[in-house]
Amino acid sequence: KFLEEARVIGIIPSKDISDAEANTLYFTDTLPASGITTLRYRYAIRYTNLSGASLPLSNYALLEPTTAIAKAPESINTELTQEAIKLTWSSPIANLDETQPARIIGYNIYRRSKDGGFSDQPINNNLITSTNFDDRQFKFGNNYFYIVRSVSSGKDTTIESPDSAEVSIKAKDTFAPFSPSDVTGAAAAAIASLFWPANTEKDLRGYIVYRADKKDAPRSEWTKLTPTAITTTTFRDERAQVGKTYVYFITAIDIASNESNPSEGTEVEVVQ
């Protein structure tokens, strides 16, 4: 009965079949602009050899076209922060068939790296209902590319819009850690000891300790006591002179060599 009601809507030449990438063929059926939402379309494919003999039909694919699908989002913007790549966009005002308002129930975001393709799965775990998203699963130093798709309700499932314009961003780390705080000091046996709470940045390399003879000494007069960053949150100055009072400053530094502002100066009088 299918063959009695069906008609041939397209032919794919043998050359296109042999040239197909990954043995995958594509065909687009352009439907009329009106009335299609009341119809169902059943498709089947069959091969015909060079002598004109046809093989049996493939399995059937049953489709219910939907026209009221929102257009793609517009004006995609990205902003890099210490914790996330922030994306914002504008909602489309119309559907693909130009009807209004756009039938949007949410958005999906897709990401690729410099040399990769977009995944079939969005990076958001749940449908986004606002026009912004924070991508926290990134690494500094990498290039990222994003597209956003509007999501509309279909008859039995949700339907995505075409892709938005692609945007890219290089995640270059220019963000210094927070300054260490609550630094305390004590002295005994001619050694000045310093203590402070740990910073919480994920990319923290460690800490640099400086010493000055007075609190208002310019930074050019500070002595750097740690040639390389230390990873502990304590430090012992074993070169201090008994009877002198020193002022210590601590900075935090990350793996990209961004150094924080110094902590408040901590005075320690060195005693025997």
The structure's pTM equals 0.68
The whole-number pLDDT of residue 14 equals 80
Same domain, 120 and 142: yes
| pLDDT means over runs of 10, the chain (272 residues) | 83 80 77 62 87 86 78 97 96 92 96 90 97 96 96 86 96 96 96 97 95 95 97 97 97 97 97 88
The whole-number pLDDT of residue 210 equals 98
Same domain, 165 and 225: no
The whole-number pLDDT of residue 68 equals 80
Q: Which residues of 156-174 are buried (b: 16+ CB within 10 A; e: fewer)?
A: eeebbbeebeebebeeebe
Same domain, 137 and 193: no
Same domain, 164 and 137: yes
Same domain, 59 and 78: no
Q: Report if residue 69 sits inside a domain.
A: no
For residue 139, count other CB atoms closer than 10 A to its CB: 10
Last residue of a domain, one of 135, 170, 205: 170
Q: Report if residue 133 sits inside a domain.
A: yes
The whole-number pLDDT of residue 97 equals 85
Q: Report if residue 153 sits inside a domain.
A: yes
Q: Is the peptide bond before 32 cis (omega within 30 degrees of 0)?
A: no
Same domain, 59 and 79: no
Q: Report if residue 179 sits inside a domain.
A: no
- The total number of structural domains that make up the chain: 3
Same domain, 196 and 136: no
Which residue type, as a one-letter code, is found at position 133? Answer: F
Instruction: From residue 175, give the alpha-carbon distance in Å to each of 207, 229, 249.
Output: 15, 17, 20
The whole-number pLDDT of residue 67 equals 62
Which residue type, as a one-letter code, is found at position 177? Answer: P
Last residue of a domain, one of 110, 143, 170: 170
For the chain, the first-to-last Cα distance in angstroms comes to: 104
Same domain, 235 and 158: no
The whole-number pLDDT of residue 34 equals 56
The enclosing domain of 81 has a CATH number of: 2.60.40.10
Same domain, 188 and 261: yes
Q: Report if residue 176 sits inside a domain.
A: no
Q: Report if residue 219 sits inside a domain.
A: yes
Domain that holds residue 188: 184-269
The whole-number pLDDT of residue 22 equals 60
Same domain, 55 and 81: no
Q: Report if residue 158 sits inside a domain.
A: yes
Same domain, 37 and 78: no
Q: Report if residue 242 sits inside a domain.
A: yes
Of the candidates 174, 244, 258, 173, the one whose C-alpha atom is nearest the C-alpha of residue 208 is 258
The whole-number pLDDT of residue 28 equals 84
Same domain, 160 and 189: no
Last residue of a domain, one of 20, 41, 63: 63
The whole-number pLDDT of residue 33 equals 57
Of the candidates 180, 176, 175, 177, the one whose C-alpha atom is nearest the C-alpha of residue 250 is 180
